[in-house]
Homo-oligomer: A and B are copies of this chain.
Amino acid sequence: MAAKGRRNEIHKIQPNGLTVSELCIGTGIFGMQTDEDLKAKLDELKNDYRKGDATAASRNSFSNFTFFWRLFAMAIIGSTVNRRFVLAKRPESPTSPASRDLFELQSVDVPELADGEFLVESHWMSLDPWIRGTMNGNRSYQASVELGDVMRALCAGRVVVSRNAAFPVGTPVSGMLGWQDYAVTDGTLIRKIPENAPLELGLNLLGINGQTAWFGINDIGKPKAGETAVVTAAAGGVGSIAVQLLKAAGCRVIGLAGDDEKCEWVKSIGAADCINYKTTDIGKALSVLCPDRVDVVFDNVGGAMLDELLLHLNTNARIVLSGALSRYNAKPEPLTNWLQLHINRATMKGYIFLDHFDRFDEADTDMMRRWERGELLYREHIIDGLENAPDALSKLFDGSNRGKLLVKIR
């Protein structure tokens, strides 16, 4: 996979040649007409929809048929099958791998919409480390997923049925929609994805990865030109964005990654150097590469790696606690060098991108501008099919993913 600045959206058509959204809209409008008529009439709508012109699609589909549309759409929704993964049992321990048997794939009907709600058909699902944390049943970033509940995940898709004027049919959105084909939402914490961006960008630069990097760097890292920054898991979905934002801020960036191929890629996106932590003594390498010590640590790992980094802090260093991949290691990895925080007047701060929902526009505007200019490179590791999501989750923890881990639902 080569690094790329943009990625064309692949809009996969369902086996019957129509997406459920089209079926809903079409059947709603044209009621008992034949399939042939339906398909012909739908061409216009499909064009609007494909172009991402949600307003036109919505206007056409609703027009004077709102009453009938609702009536029939509800009938269709009721008979549309929603595949979803629920948590069947808890992992043996907070650090044990999330094996396939912990998940149960169910097929259920799509529920009816209440006023103010809309139905989103997910196209992409984001696999992120925090998901593993919600499976244990203890206090974590997010509330725990209860047994039998749908697994949580951020997804990007389009509105296919709507009883919410702010989110008309066709609107590209992202949000916490879960491990499933369809999700009903009232719009809480749902974001619209710009029409000129591929849907999956709403999970990456304009989603959890971009926002995690952006808020961590702007609110905590506060990089200044000429400073030295170190990014751990620098080839990952968040780390690679952090490398580029820190570089753009004028920092000399050193990455840490788990193999030589990843290190080469990290250097190709702007890092002055990248340490393969599996084959290199990190402490010695940092002493050589950061003779003036480290001003900003953007850490996705925690544990022993963070502990080593504490020994290289410069005065007034800022440590962005972005992620804690090491928490999933079987052996606990305490911080022995915490005194360095005193000595170096350092700040170490945890944060969660979702806390800043009210400032997402600010972050997204900046990220979109950089993306449009081709200043932000990324790569995606795509898993095809919702059914393969459980096996893919562990890739985040064994380091076998290459870039942002996405499940392509359709």
Contacts and interface: CB of A to CB of B under 8 A. Distances in A.
A316 to B, nearest CB: 8
Nearest to A355: B345
A350 B343 contact: yes
Contacts of A344: 350
B343 A321 contact: no
B355 A350 contact: no
A346 to B, nearest CB: 5
A93 interface: no
A5 interface: no
Contacts of A350: 341-347
A344 B141 CA distance: 7
Interface string A132-156: 0000000111000000000000000
A336 B334 contact: yes
A257 to B, nearest CB: 21
Residue from A324, A341, A342, A347 with most neighbouring chain B CB atoms (10 Å): A342
A322 to B, nearest CB: 9
Given A321-B341, A321-B342, A336-B332, A349 B352 contact: no
Contacts of A327: 339
User: How extensive is the interface on chain A, given as a class?
Assistant: 20 to 34
A335 interface: yes
A351 interface: yes
Contacts of A345: 349-352, 355
Nearest to A338: B335
Contact of A349 (B324, B335, B347, B351): B347
Contacts of A335: 334-335, 338
A319 to B, nearest CB: 9
Contact of A342 (B141, B341, B342, B355): B141
Contacts of A140: 343
A114 interface: no
A101 to B, nearest CB: 26
Contacts of A342: 141, 302, 321, 323-324, 350, 352
Contact of A347 (B336, B338, B343, B347): B347
The 9 closest A-B pairs by CB, nearest first: A334-B334, A342-B350, A341-B350, A334-B336, A347-B349, A335-B335, A348-B348, A335-B338, A345-B351
Interface of A: 139-141, 302, 306, 321, 323-324, 327, 332, 334-336, 338-339, 341-352, 355
19 contacts: A139-B343, A141-B342, A141-B343, A302-B338, A302-B342, A321-B342, A327-B339, A332-B336, A334-B334, A334-B336, A335-B335, A341-B349, A341-B350, A342-B350, A345-B350, A345-B351, A347-B347, A347-B348, A348-B348
